[in-house]
Structure formats: C-alpha cells, structure tokens
Structure 1
Amino acid sequence: MAAGLTRRRFLSLAGVAAACVGTSGWATAKPPVPVTWRGQALGAEADLTLYHPDPDEAAAIIEGALGEVARLERLFSLYRSDSALSALNRDGSLTDPPREFLDLLRQAQAISALSGGAFDVTVQPLWSLYASHFAKPGADPAGPSPALVSGARARVGWQGIDLSPRRVALRDGMAVTLNGIAQGFITDAVTDYLAARGITATLVNMGEYRALGSHPDGRPWHLGIPHPADPARLLASLDLRGRAASTSAGLGTAFDAQGRFHHLFEPSSGRPASAWASVTVVAPTATLADALSTAIAAAPPDRAAGILRAGGGLEAWLLGWDRKVTRRSLGNDPA
C-alpha cells in the first residue's frame, strides 16, 4: 500500500516521538540524545526516535527493530512475490505456516466472528475488481456492474479459510489481504522488541501507533487525529499511555477521482463502506486497534459500540459525513 494520503490511516503525532532506556541504564555523564529513523513499514509511513545516552547503542536497537519489520513483511506483504501471503494467494494453500502468520490469521478470524463478518481479510477479490475497473481508460464512473460485484463477493467469506497448525487453505477463488491488521501486528512486535531491550518510554509508529510508558519528560503521550478532509483541524487529542490507536478512513485510498469508491468494503454488499468518514479506535494493542477500526468502519453505524465492546477496544472516535464527531467508550456506552 502506498504511503501518505494513499493510506487509510490519518493519525499524526502531537509532540515529539521519543523513547528512553530505563533510568538505571543511563550514564550520568552523558545526557540522552535523540536518534531518529524514518521510513516505511508495509508501505505505510513509519518513524521511531530513541532518546539514549549512547547513540551507537540506540542505532543498533533501531536496526534490530527494523530487522523485525523486514522479517514480518516477508510474511504479510501483499506486494512481495516471495511473501507467505503471496504464496497463499497464489497456491491456495500454505504448508507449515510461520507461527506469526498463523497467529495473525487466528486473530483476524476472531475479529470477523465478533463483528459479524464486517471485518474480513478475504475482501481482496473486491479490491482487485474495483482497482482493475477504474484503471481502464474510460471506466464507467458508476463502478463495476452489479453482476461483477456479485461474482467477486461470492469469493469473499472469512469462514472459507481453513486454519490448522500445519496448513492454511483457501476456498477456490479466494484471496487474502492483511492490510487491515498487519500494520498493527508489526507495531506491536516492534514495541515488544524495544521493551525487551530496556526501552521504557516510547511511541512506536509502524503504520499504527502504540505507546510504551509515558513521554521521557513525564507527560503522557498525546496523539492528534486530523480531520481527513481538513488536516489543519484535529478531531481529538488522545492520551496513549500504555495504549494503541488506529484510524480507518475510506478517503485514504480512492479508486476514482470523486472518492466515491474506496478500499474499505462492506463484505455483505461488496460495495465501499459508507457508514463513517473515518473511525479511530484506541485499544490495548495496535493489532486490536487496527482490526477494530476497520470492522467498525465497515459495519452499520448502530453496531459500532457493540463491536468496540465485544472486541475489547477502549474508545472510538467516529466522524460522520456531516462532519459531526461521536465518541464511544466502554465507560460511556449503555450496557
């Protein structure tokens, strides 16, 4: 997936992303200095800054974290021909799947079940249909025909994935995309990698955000959510201490110039989701925030609170097409 405005995420950091080693590891003669990396993870804009008294050690830690990113991209990338995901889509099955690949698919299946199928990693046939339709010169602005949509939709259904420790298999004609959950998984993996190496305060951005501890100066990590149609405006500023956040917005990747057809699909209809302009979810992990924001974006509006609660999310910020913002949380929703 391309970076920047072609992505479905619109989170931006309000403040400086920084990470520190535990205070017991600091050399009093050397104040911590920032060491920053910026790049991409699964095609998403990503960045990481470590505040560390030893710049060389900080650089080595970042290099190790990026090694984890590269390793996981070889599993989850839709665009690498040598990835485990590409092999599954090409061959229809994958023998002896890597542990993380199986784990992520199991988490995806759980979110599919609790969301009533609103989250579904098998929507790739729909993506391919719309992308190929609008790539043609003189494409019908009304989109693919109902018959073609129906045909693609017949190949969508999370129950068609057969999972076992030794094999993953797809029903004939199916294909999987992990773009609605894998960036969160990689964000969690990098956060865990840093924590295991003594980093106690960090805000990781590997396409999604997850905070570890508080800011090095003691204040909370704050994340600003820009309005997708007006990036100069913030929908909210979130306190992310020990939490993760993800935003899903159809405007992020549109197939047509008018933005009527985008990459967030309602599996039940085969059409682009239209319930919300954007959905931001705060959850204990980035994997969960990523998947729940996608599920809520693709579900009917009256199911947002139920999906958030069932999935273990903490709060959701829902932007309607009328530009009104609704907040849902486990603390302010009726049982």
Structure 2
Amino acid sequence: MGALASITLVHPDRARAQAQLEACVRELQRLEDIFSLYRADSALSRLNAQGELPGPPHELVELLAFSLSLSQRSAGAFDPTMQPLYRLYANHFATPGCAPGGPRPQAIERVLRLVDFRAVELRPDLVRLRRPGMAITLNGVAQGYVTDRVTDLLRAADFGDVLIDLGEVRALGHRADGQAWRAGIVDPRDLTHTIVELPLGQDRGALPALATSAGYGTPFGTDPRIHHLLDPRTGRSANHYLSVSVAASRATLADGLSTALAIGPPAQATTLLRAYPSTRVYLVGPEGRLEMLDATRSPT
C-alpha cells in the first residue's frame, strides 16, 4: 500500500522460516487486493468508483466497522470518507505553479460536502456511499490491520518470537537473546535521533504494538504545516503535535487511534482514550516536548 515493509522471524529452521515468509507475502498481496488505493481493481477502489460494493470481503466490512466506530468516538476526527479531501490536496500540489498555501477555501468547502462517515451504509452483504462523489480511504488504519493479520498468521504457525514492521510495528515473544523487542520514537525535528525507546511484547509493562502519526511523513509541498493529516471537519492539516505515537494491544487500534489523536483537538484526547483504556500515548508537541498520556491522566 505504498509503504516499505519488513518481517523478522527468529527460528532455528531457516527453510521453515522462509516458507512462512512466503505465506506472509501471499497474505499481504491478498489484503492489498482488498484495501489498496494503488490498485484500480482492489475492492476498495471498486467501491469508490461505483459508489457501492455488493458482497464485500469480510475483511473490508470488519475494518470499515472499526473505522466508523472510531469516527463516532472521536467526533469525526478520524473519518474514512476523507479521500476526496486528500485527492484535492494531492492534485493541487501536483499542478505546476500551484499556490503554496494549498487549495482555495471554496474548493475545500465543496469537497467537505462529500466527507461524512455517517453517510456510509455498511452491511455484511453491501457497502454503499450515500452521496455521489464520496470515496473511502483506509490508509489511516489498514497498515495496522495488515500487521495484525500477518502476526496472527505467524502465531498460528507456532512462531513465538516475531517482530513485524509493515508500516506499523507488532511484536510477539522476545529477541534471540531473550530480551524484549524494542521500538524507538524519533524526534520529528531530527529523524536521526530517538527521543524514547519502548519495550514491545507481552512482558509486564509492555504492549505489543506501536504506531506513529506525524505530518512529516507525507508533506504536500514546501510548507511542513501542510501535510496528509487533514482534519475532515475543517479541511486543513492538523498541527496540534509534531507526532503522536500509540502503544496498544493490536496494531489496528494503535494505527487508527494515533491518527484520531493527531487530528482531534487536544482537549478531547483523554475522553477518547477512556474508550480504549489499555493504550499508552506519546505526544511530541510543537516545541518538541515529549508528553505521555493514558486514559487516567492528562499529558505529563
């Protein structure tokens, strides 16, 4: 889905590990056929082109149901119907000589009429977009979902020590030396510098998955304040934080929640986290200060 990916397996039998890696690649390709906007024939691309999709794959229904639930709980900060807004920005900045400040307000206002998660009809046998011109992106959560699916596949094959980086990170077991897997959160102002390192896995005090949302990941133009973390309520990039990282039990939740928290107003963060109490959040503010947040307390 347009991102680099790697899988590390710790196992004494190289042939078995290689065979399982090939099974993982097949699963990745199968899921890309459902979720990828880079493939015109994917289930999601067909839904966007036709406005409805009879007989949708179970995985699309499952992930879209999670996304719509997160949209509701985040008061629209996370909204899978924001693809027309993203497309507006991408097309604007692909035009030579475009205004560096982004699309005109009138154009944003027109597109925002197509952005509303409440206008998605979701049933096991049908997905329908109720307004012509609507389109869905699951890029704010699909990488986490794929990470979880591949992790589950490996666990079912009795691979107990696994670290996966498929855009988001998920860990099982331990490293070869018996220590916990670890993941770092980089300084958004200096991507060569790590500002905090976390243990990942099932050990006491650790969580298995980590995801980060940050504007520096996909800037549109030369202004770093204009990036892909677009607020579906205002049509403008959200710049409450330089980055938001979420540690959670599953990568799907970490991925979606990091997006919602990055876009939503900071005052609503603790309220949102109460719906997902087994999570830990690391916020890097505009001045580069690191704060930790969970469901029981405000930023510290």
Same fold (TM over 0.5): yes
RMSD: 1.3
Name which of 70, 92, 98 aligns with 2:29: 70
Tell me what 2:205 maps to: none
Gaps spanning 5+ residues in structure 1: where?
1-41
Query: Do structure 1's residue 257 and structure 2's residue 222 form an aligned pair?
Result: yes
Distance 2:137 2:149 in 1: 19
Any idea what SS the aligned residue of 2:144 has?
helix
Tell me what 1:282 maps to: 247
Name which of 268, 279, 287 aligns with 1:322: 287
> Given that residues 140 and 259 in structure 2 are in contact (C-alpha distance below 8 angstroms), is that contact kept between their aligned partners in structure 1?
yes
Residue 46 of structure 1 deviates from its aligned partner by 1.1
Any idea what SS the aligned residue of 2:222 has?
coil
Any idea what SS the aligned residue of 2:139 has?
coil
Gaps spanning 5+ residues in structure 2: where?
203-207
Letter paired with 2:14: P
> Given that residues 281 and 313 in structure 1 are in contact (C-alpha distance below 8 angstroms), is that contact kept between their aligned partners in structure 2?
no
Any idea what SS the aligned residue of 2:176 has?
coil
Query: Do structure 1's residue 140 and structure 2's residue 99 form an aligned pair?
Result: yes
Deviation track 1:181-209 (CA, whole Å, cap 9, x = no partner) reads 00000000000000000111111111110
Residue 216 of structure 1 deviates from its aligned partner by 3.1
Name which of 25, 46, 50 aligns with 1:91: 50
Tell me what 1:49 maps to: 8
Letter paired with 1:292: L
> Given that residues 82 and 232 in structure 2 are in contact (C-alpha distance below 8 angstroms), is that contact kept between their aligned partners in structure 1?
yes
Name which of 256, 266, 276 aligns with 1:311: 276
Query: Do structure 1's residue 168 and structure 2's residue 91 form an aligned pair?
Result: no
Percent identity of equivalent pairs: 46
Residue 260 of structure 1 deviates from its aligned partner by 2.6
Any idea what SS the aligned residue of 1:120 has?
coil
Tell me what 1:17 maps to: none
Q: What is the 5 A alignment of 1:217-256?
A: 217-242=177-202, 243-256=208-221
Distance 2:260 2:278 in 1: 12
Residue 231 of structure 1 deviates from its aligned partner by 1.5
Tell me what 1:179 maps to: 139
Any idea what SS the aligned residue of 2:161 has?
strand
Tell me what 2:70 maps to: 111
> Given that residues 114 and 311 in structure 1 are in contact (C-alpha distance below 8 angstroms), is that contact kept between their aligned partners in structure 2?
no
> Given that residues 93 and 170 in structure 1 are in contact (C-alpha distance below 8 angstroms), is that contact kept between their aligned partners in structure 2?
yes
Residue 135 of structure 1 deviates from its aligned partner by 1.3
Distance 1:65 1:269 in 2: 39
Poorly superposed stretches of 4+, deviation over 6 Å: none
Letter paired with 1:284: S
Any idea what SS the aligned residue of 1:231 has?
strand
Structure with the largest fraction of strand: 1
Query: Do structure 1's residue 120 and structure 2's residue 79 form an aligned pair?
Result: yes
Tell me what 1:6 maps to: none
> Given that residues 209 and 249 in structure 2 are in contact (C-alpha distance below 8 angstroms), is that contact kept between their aligned partners in structure 1?
yes
Matched pairs, number: 293
Distance 2:278 2:38 in 1: 30
Deviation track 1:60-85 (CA, whole Å, cap 9, x = no partner) reads 01100111111000000011011000
Distance 1:203 1:309 in 2: 28
Any idea what SS the aligned residue of 2:239 has?
coil
Residue 331 of structure 1 deviates from its aligned partner by 5.2
Q: TM-score, normalised by structure 1?
A: 0.85
Distance 1:332 1:215 in 2: 32
> Given that residues 120 and 267 in structure 1 are in contact (C-alpha distance below 8 angstroms), is that contact kept between their aligned partners in structure 2?
yes
Any idea what SS the aligned residue of 1:139 has?
coil
Tell me what 1:158 maps to: 117
